[in-house]
Amino acid sequence: MSARAGIDGFLAAAPWPQRAGLRLLVALQRRPRGAGLLARMPMAEQAAHAILALGRYDDPVLAGDLGWDARAVVARGRALRRAEGRP
């Protein structure tokens, strides 16, 4: 799953009033003028930034550069479960 798809799924799972608000915040933060507007509202800016950061650093290449390999963690887990008969 791409990082963008991961964020889309994350936002889609939010309850409806928040979903609309968060999508708006993210759309604003992605545009220079929108980001400038949000900079005047620190809490909103922080929320939008947090969601975009969640997506950006979920990217396997970027995460890999920081020492995190989700695929390897999952593969190790699967191998352990198979080898030891875990659920």
Partner 1 sequence: MKLDCDVCVVGAGAGGAVAAAELAEGGARVVVLEQGPPHDPDGFTARPPEMLARLYRDGGQTATLGAPPILLPLGRGVGGTTLVNSGTCFRTPPHVLERWAREFGLELDEATLRPCFERVERALSVAEVNPEMAGANAAVARRGAERLGWSHGYLRRNARGCVGSGVCVFGCPTSAKQHTGITYVPRATAAGAKLVTGADVREVLIERGRARGVRARLARGGELEVLAPTVVLACGTIHTPLLMQRSRLRDASAQRGRNLALHPATAGFALMDEAVDMARGVPQSFYVDEFATQGIMFEGVAGPPAYAAMSLPLTGARHARAMADYRRLAQFGLMVSDESRGSVRALAGAPVIRYDLCPADVSKFRAGLARLQELFLAAGAREVYLPLPAGVAPERARARDLRLMAFHPLGTARADARVTHGVTDGRLAVHGAPGVYVADGSVVPSALGVNPQLTIMALATRLAFQLLGRAVPDGSPAEPAATGGGDCQPDPEESACPS
Site of interaction with partner 1 (CB under 8 A): 1, 3, 6-7, 9-15, 18, 22, 42-43, 45-46, 49-51, 53-58, 62-63, 66-68, 70, 73-74, 76-78, 80-81, 84, 86-87
Q: How far apart are CA 5 and CA 51, in angstroms?
A: 13
Task: Give least dist CB 27 to partner 1, A.
Answer: 17
Closer residue to partner 1 (CB): 27 or 46: 46
CB atoms within 10 A of CB 30: 11
Q: How far apart are CA 11 and CA 20, in angstroms?
A: 9
